[in-house]
Structure 1
Amino acid sequence: MGTLSQDQLNRALIERQMLRERAGKSALATIEHLVGIQAQEPKSPYVGLWTRIHDFRPQELEDLLTRREAVRILLMRGTIHLVSARDALGLRPHTQLRLDRELRSGPFAARLRGLDFDEVAAAGREILDDTPQGTADAGRQLQERWPDREHTVLGNALRNKLALVQLPPRGLWHRSGRAVCTTLENWLGRPQQAMDKRELVLRYLKAFGPATVMDAQQWSGLTKLTATFEELRPELVTFRTEGGKELFDLPDAPRPDAGTPLPVRLLPEFDNILLAHADRRRVIADDRLGVVIGGKPTVLVDGYVAATWAVTEDRTITVDHIDELPPSRKKAVAEECDRLQDWIRG
């Protein structure tokens, strides 16, 4: 069992996230490889795919959404993700325990106390499957049955209890819209069927490893994954962090040298590479986590967050450097920003 340095973990993550070299994969194959893309901001997945795929065009993702091959849905960590239809059906059951806990202890818990959540969910499903709409709108209809409850609170109960898909045009590149929802089962015409936890862990390691059990739990929002890792141990290899924590990985997964050169890459808001580990220092220093929490798009220089970027009203890319970079790296950042700017304007 060897030790992997922070830079080795960084290079492995960058490689598996398709950020060292843009891949020649389809958008759907990339989304499945990444086990979904964070999508609180509707346009974020487009930038996340542009930075990872050769010649990515927004129409490719728009077509996946309108053809129901990919969906926007509440998943890992209780946040909106863009995932393939197949993965939505397999991943969503795993999030239910966390979402149920949120109803009992989250910000709406006191105002939800005493409700039969299954009864609310059944009534909400009937409404949303008949006429897709916003959860607050559905909540207003539920008030006819529960007049002592606020419509926003009832809508929040539906958000947690039902697997709701945000329908196009929400999430399209050339136009968008408010979050109008129906149930996943209604949209896809298929039932949910929980993905085997072993497959979940193996796919996580393929896209984000090497990783600790706590890393996998941070990414997924699940707890008690130790038993799954132990079950898989004969199929995996193990290492140690410099701090002595046990890391698991797939035997044939890439683990590049610590000195492997890396290009500048631009990441969208809340990119999963910044959120998928309990110890995020493999890609962002602890004192910089505020830029992620604040939802700022980030710039990777030599594999680590070194700046943030933004788009102005005239679709110009601006950069706010955190680190003082040598002229050659500043030039590389500017060139990558120009490429994204041309793509956005195109």
Structure 2
Amino acid sequence: MAAPLAPVLSDRALNRATLERQLLLRRSPVPVKEAVGALVGLQAQNTRPPYFQLFARLEGFDPAELSGLMESRELVRIVTLRSTIHTHTAEDALTLRPLVQQARDRELSVFRRGLTGVDLDRLAALARELVEERPRTMKELREALLRSWPDADPRALAVAARCRLPLVQVTPRGLWGRSGQVALTTAEHWLGRPSEQAASPDATVLRYLGAFGPASVKDMQSWAGLTRMREVFERLRPRLVTFRDERGTELFDLPDAPRPDPRTPAPPRFLPEFDNVLLGHADRTRIIPPAFKGRNGVGNQSYGTVLADGFLAALWRLDETAEDAIVTVQALGPLTRAVREEITQEAVEMLTVMSTTTAYDIRFGTFVDFGD
């Protein structure tokens, strides 16, 4: 007798399950550090998005709390998942970075022509010595390494150092209202701890499902920037439950993870560019309606997004001066008057926390030309 087919979860059911785990169905009272750990990091290519990600998710969020945790080195900015900068807890920085080392090695292979004759072990040792002597900018690191390998491609030398070493961006880079240029040292030196064993792939899959599930093998691989994870899922299969999405793809999940009623209300949320909820799956239809695929960015430019009823519905931009702040919302499709009012109220609440100005305006208009 054939095994029974796994239950089908609609895109709306997947949406609500993901939003629940991403703390986007209702704001959570959990502390900032706990939230960052539960979400397995915050995408942080730019310095401000992590703050807006947490405002959208946490009750009573104060940007100073995240900034303070970075100053105390409990949270750090480091290249990990998908070869992009993430804000992680110190513990995750020391264990997730080794987990993705294989991906960093693949990235480095692209630059092999520019590294002809370069001893990568010696380069890593020299780069470590340089950045642990004092934090260095990429320009300083590149120029110092070039003295040892004058015939190498300068950019390839810097990329090699970044790929071979767990380099963190030291503060004040990333602090709220202050920031600064990128200066790097090793995670071990910045955190005052030796390197740790790489996180277990099995444990990482379970954490991923807890934050982004139900999800497919391909979803997890896309989120982490890793390959060949099928065997890990198969090893974990006895501990997991399975579903199918509307396209027939097998999805895995933790047995006791929340899967809310698809009719659960989802309030509007303003998400910054590169929010992980938009990047955590290979198949993003649980958040991005097919009609709006590719509309959260043009080329290399990504925009802030507005979720309405849990799905991508608009883009947003903040223009801020010392005197005022203006949020422009560009709807991607028709919005009812009631939804516009809810979006406006959410924008006002966001500005009262995330802007130092007392004068602000919320506008619905167009600032992106998709060339249709």
TM range (shorter): over 0.9
Structure 1, residues 267-301: CA drift from partner, whole Å, max 9, x if none? 01100000110101110134432424522010000
Measure how far apart 1:321 and its partner are.
1.0
Instruction: Report the secondary structure of 2:244's partner residue.
Output: strand
Structure 1, residues 79-114: CA drift from partner, whole Å, max 9, x if none? 000000001111001111111111112xx4432234
TM-score, normalised via structure 1 length? 0.97
Letter in 1 for 2:125: A
Partner of 1:160: 163
The whole-number CA distance in structure 1 between the counterparts of 2:101 and 2:214 is 27
Measure how far apart 1:135 and its partner are.
2.0
Give matches, 1:191-340, under 5 Å: 191-286=195-290, 287-292=292-297, 294-314=301-321, 315-340=325-350
The whole-number CA distance in structure 2 between the counterparts of 1:304 and 1:113 is 48
The whole-number CA distance in structure 2 between the counterparts of 1:270 and 1:118 is 33
Maintained 8 Å contact 1:136/1:151: no
* Equivalences, count: 344
Measure how far apart 1:161 and its partner are.
1.3
Q: CA RMSD in A?
A: 1.3
Larger displacement relative to structure 2 (85-94 or 292-301): 292-301
Maintained 8 Å contact 2:118/2:152: no
Give matches, 1:131-210, under 5 Å: 131-190=134-193, 191-210=195-214
Letter in 2 for 1:59: A
Structure 1, residues 39-83: CA drift from partner, whole Å, max 9, x if none? 001011001001100111111111111111010000000000000
Maintained 8 Å contact 1:92/1:192: no
The whole-number CA distance in structure 1 between the counterparts of 2:13 and 2:279 is 18
The structure with more helix, counted as a fraction of residues = 1
Partner of 2:120: 117
Maintained 8 Å contact 1:185/1:192: no
Structure 1, residues 129-148: CA drift from partner, whole Å, max 9, x if none? 00111122111011111111
The whole-number CA distance in structure 2 between the counterparts of 1:192 and 1:98 is 18
Letter in 2 for 1:327: R
Letter in 2 for 1:313: E
1:126 aligns with 2:129: yes
Measure how far apart 1:182 and its partner are.
0.1
Measure how far apart 1:261 and its partner are.
1.1
Q: Which runs of 5+ in 1 are unaligned?
A: none
TM-score, normalised via structure 2 length? 0.90
The whole-number CA distance in structure 1 between the counterparts of 2:50 and 2:342 is 23
Q: Which runs of 5+ in 2 are unaligned?
A: 1-5, 357-372
Q: Which runs of 4+ in 1 moved over 4 A?
A: none
